[in-house]
């Protein structure tokens, strides 16, 4: 009888642990972008100055060296919604910033 109770207890404990969802950490990828950082960018800045402010770009165009893309994605725990921030920077032939395209949310993603 005692062996039977132990067996039932083990089966129930395995059944219960199989129903638990494992821990899933938040996923962050890319450079963390804020409106404050992008506001510090000024047209005419050199590539070195931009890299100092924002870090190394996630993507550099394969066809031209004059476009840098900074992408930041964040997926909160147990949430299928992925938040994405994207900044594209364009440089002239003298490696000076000539255009900024950004789609940033009003506040930094946390």
The tens digit of pLDDT for each residue in 29-53 reads 777 777 888 888 999 999 999 999 9
Q: Which pLDDT score, from 0 to 100, does residue 108 have?
A: 43
| Total domains, the chain | 1
User: Model-level pTM?
Assistant: 0.66
Indicate whether 7 belongs to any domain. Answer: no
Indicate whether 84 belongs to any domain. Answer: yes
Q: What is the domain-level CATH number for residue 80?
A: 3.30.1450.10
Strands 83-91 and 97-103 come out as antiparallel
Closest CA to 99 of 68, 64, 62, 56: 68
Instruction: Decide if 51 contacts 40 (C-beta within 8 A).
Output: no
Whole-number Å distance between alpha carbons of 26 and 85: 16
Indicate whether 72 belongs to any domain. Answer: yes
Indicate whether 3 belongs to any domain. Answer: no
Q: Which domain holds residue 80?
A: 26-103
């Amino acid at each position: 009888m005692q062996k039977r109770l132990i067996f039932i207890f083990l089966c129930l404990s395995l059944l219960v642990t199989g129903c638990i969802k494992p821990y899933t950490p938040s996923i962050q990828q890319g450079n963390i972008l804020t409106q404050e950082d992008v506001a510090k960018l000024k047209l005419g800045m050199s590539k070195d100055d931009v890299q100092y402010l924002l870090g190394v770009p996630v993507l550099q165009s394969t066809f031209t060296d004059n476009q840098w893309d900074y992408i930041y994605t964040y997926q909160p725990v147990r949430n299928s919604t992925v938040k994405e921030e994207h900044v594209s920077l364009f440089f002239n032939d003298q490696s000076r910033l000539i255009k900024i395209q950004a789609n940033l949310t009003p506040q930094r993603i946390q």
